[in-house]
């Protein structure tokens, strides 16, 4: 389902069913969207934490979207980079970025390195014998090294996890199997935890975050 459909589904669940009586029909759709945003981003963080012990973060791929960006060169720094026009969910070790590679060759994905250890990585035996493209993040830029300079000006694919508020209403929202109930429960929990409705903040055009 897309973002607009998911918001409508949550709205319907909050209007009846198992929704607590104190929140049924009480909230403006824009407020529901704000709570859903917080719950969705918390769900992504929860799945990261569940994946961390095994080191297998494949479950995060469900939330990722592919973006086409152009590889450029920063002449001042002498480094290659791409620039994202979206924000990325802030997960540890930049796991909000799930893949960086040539646009038509995902099998040649670049390796992530911490931006403070790239100089050490370049000196490793494997990098000397068979260099592999690497990247590190200084968002909104992603700096790329050890790639063919002929890629400058060419398309690069970046798969990243945008926060809920970074999705368009027509963008598909994929929730892993078995996590739908968790998402709805997170919304309920956030709403019930509030001592008062944030409706006034919305109606008064107040920019205060909920």
Q: Which pLDDT tens digit goes with each residue over 41-62?
A: 889 999 999 999 999 998 898 8
Q: Does residue 210 form part of some domain? A: no
User: Is a pLDDT exceeding 90 seen at residue 203?
Assistant: no
Q: How many angstroms separate the CA atoms of 30 and 32, rounded? A: 5
Are both 53 and 75 inside the same structural domain?
A: no
Are both 74 and 124 inside the same structural domain?
A: yes
pLDDT band at 91 (very low <50, low <70, confident <90, very high): very high
Q: Does residue 45 form part of some domain? A: yes
Show the domain range for 38.
Answer: 3-57+167-203
User: 62 in helix, strand or coil?
Assistant: helix
User: Is a pLDDT exceeding 60 seen at residue 165?
Assistant: yes
To the nearest 10 degrees (0 to 180), the angle between helices 3-14 and 180-193 is 60
- DSSP letter at 110 equals P
* CA distance readout (Å), 22 to 12, 15, 25, 152, 186: 15, 10, 9, 57, 16
pTM score: 0.77
Q: How many angstroms separate the CA atoms of 124 and 182, rounded? A: 43
Are the C-beta atoms of 132 and 142 separated by less than 8 Å?
no
* CA distance readout (Å), 143 to 29, 62, 74, 93, 118: 39, 25, 9, 15, 11
* Number of folded domains that form the chain: 2
pLDDT band at 84 (very low <50, low <70, confident <90, very high): very high
Q: How many angstroms separate the CA atoms of 166 and 40, rounded? A: 12
Beta strand pairing call for 79-83 and 141-145: antiparallel
Are both 134 and 182 inside the same structural domain?
A: no
User: Is a pLDDT exceeding 60 seen at residue 149?
Assistant: yes
Q: Does residue 122 form part of some domain? A: yes
Q: Does residue 208 form part of some domain? A: no
């Amino acid at each position: 389902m897309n973002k607009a459909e998911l918001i409508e589904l949550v709205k319907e669940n909050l209007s009846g069913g198992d929704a607590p009586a104190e929140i049924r029909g009480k909230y403006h759709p824009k407020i529901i969207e704000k709570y859903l945003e917080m719950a969705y981003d918390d769900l992504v963080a929860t799945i990261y934490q569940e994946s961390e012990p095994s080191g297998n973060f494949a479950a995060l791929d469900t939330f990722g979207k592919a973006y086409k960006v152009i590889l450029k060169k920063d002449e001042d720094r002498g480094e290659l980079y791409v620039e994202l026009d979206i924000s990325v969910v802030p997960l540890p070790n930049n796991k909000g970025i799930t893949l960086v590679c040539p646009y038509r060759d995902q099998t040649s994905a670049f390796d992530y390195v911490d931006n403070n250890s790239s100089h050490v990585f370049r000196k490793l035996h494997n990098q000397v014998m068979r260099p592999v493209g690497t990247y590190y993040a200084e968002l909104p830029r992603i700096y790329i090294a050890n790639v063919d300079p002929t890629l400058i000006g060419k398309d690069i694919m970046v798969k990243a996890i945008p926060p809920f508020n970074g999705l368009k209403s027509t963008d598909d929202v994929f929730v892993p199997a078995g996590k739908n109930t968790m998402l709805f429960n997170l919304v309920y929990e956030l709403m019930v935890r509030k001592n008062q409705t944030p409706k006034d903040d919305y109606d008064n055009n107040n920019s205060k975050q909920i």
